Amino acid sequence: MNKKIVGTLLVVVMCMVSIVPVVIAQKTPFVINGYVSYANGTACNEPVVNITNTNTGESWYAENASISNYYQLVLANGTHLNVSETLKFEVTSPDGTQSKVVEHTVDKSEVDDGGIFDFNISLGAMKAQTWYLTPEAKPGDAPTANDGLEHVKDNLMHKGSGTGTGEYFNLSYTEVAWFYADTGAECELGFGDNPWKAHIRTEAIEDDEIGRNLTVEICRLEKGTGDVTVIASHTEQLTAVGSKYLWNITCEDNVSTSQDFSTGDWLAVRLSWDCPTDELQIYYKAEAGSDSYIESPSTDPGYPIPELSTLILFSSGLVILAGYGYVVLKRGSEKERR
């Protein structure tokens, strides 16, 4: 009889040992869902929702439908994300006219509940911003671009309008010109992966200047160090023009970097010219017809700080999710007491 009992126990133990690895291998599902609406509150059907784990760089597109503004993504906790990691939501309407970029940090209650539920997102109309090159010195608290090159200019790039009394500057092939935004990023934000526009006004292009290249680079300068990351750029080959001319240049996204800014990072623009015999005269006078300026993509969140509605939405989401987690825990406790 004892032998039978021992044999039975051995079989049970062996079964348990074989089952344990399977149980351990299972991952807990983590569901993310919600609804997307346009700025006017109407439903945005078939939204494009891209969610990125900024800690790992992995990204996924949420499931959606043409007849609904609902989106859903199912991930695995412990594989795709963990507590305290940050998810970036990049949401765009199907026609590309409205968008929103929101970041959210995963907390323990969400992992315990199995996901982020009803994370609703209200899109905003595309709002490109404009920065004008100026003859004024850069802001005192802006880090100087640490690129190891000679700077002919380290000037201000003023948002919304031109300033100062200067008319133009000369750019040689041995130097670069830097222009810095009025202020650094006041919180973490991102421009997506879209192109920027540069509108650079030059003198007439003649003789040796014809066929030479003007390069425009949109950059992120790291807080404190001034280390340079090029987020978008374009090299324009200039053709012959007989008078002052405005070059409209599209700076394409740099796929090897991101257009994400941390708090304190600085937006800046670098100009360079490759003609060894003639300097390029670039205008930055504060009047129409004599100015040069940079235009951010339509997905601009409102640098240096996202628009108030984005912050309200984010904060409201946290409050709602925290409240939901509290209700779930409270109900669980009541059931246990019963």
- Name which residue leads in pLDDT, 263 or 56: 263
Three-state SS across 28-92?
Answer: EEEEEEEEEECCCCCECCCCEEEEEECCCCCEEECEEECCEEEEEEEEEECCCECCCCEEEEEEE
Q: CA 312, CA 60: separation in Å to the nearest integer? A: 25
Strands lying side by side in the sheet with 48-53: 59-61, 48-53, 86-92, 98-105, 124-125
Q: pLDDT tens digit string along 207-230?
A: 999 999 999 999 999 999 999 999
- 70-74, 246-250, 283-287, 304-308: lowest mean pLDDT where? 304-308
Q: What confidence tens digit (pLDDT) does each residue in 83-117 have?
A: 999 999 989 899 877 888 888 999 999 999 999 99
Residue span(s) of the chain under CATH 2.60.40.1110 come to: 28-126+316-337
Nearest CA among 41, 38, 72, 79 for reference residue 58? 79
What is 130-295's CATH superfamily? Galactose-binding domain-like (2.60.120.260)
- Where b means 16+ CB within 10 Å and e means fewer, 112-135 reads ebebbeebbbbbbebeebbbbbbb
Ordered DSSP codes for 242-281:
SS-EEEEEEEEE-TTS--EE-TT-EEEEEEEE--SS-PEE
Given a cut of 90, whether residue 35 has pLDDT beyond it is yes
CA atoms within 13 A on the CB side of 124: 19
> CATH code for 28-126+316-337?
2.60.40.1110
Provide DSSP, 144-155.
PPBSSS-EEEEE
* 14-29 residue pLDDT tens: 444 444 444 343 579 9
The pTM of the full predicted model, rounded to 2 decimals, is 0.61
Q: For the chain, give the percent of residues with pLDDT over 90.
A: 70
Q: What number of CA atoms fall less than 13 Å from residue 16's CA on the CB side?
A: 6
Q: What is the pLDDT of residue 307?
A: 53
Please give the pLDDT value at position 278.
Answer: 98
The pLDDT value given to residue 24: 41
pLDDT at position 126 is 62
DSSP assignment letter at 111:
H
Task: Output the average pLDDT for the chain.
Answer: 86
Element (H, E) at 327: helix 308-337
Q: What is the mean pLDDT of residues 65-89?
A: 94
Domain with CATH 2.60.120.260 in the chain: 130-295
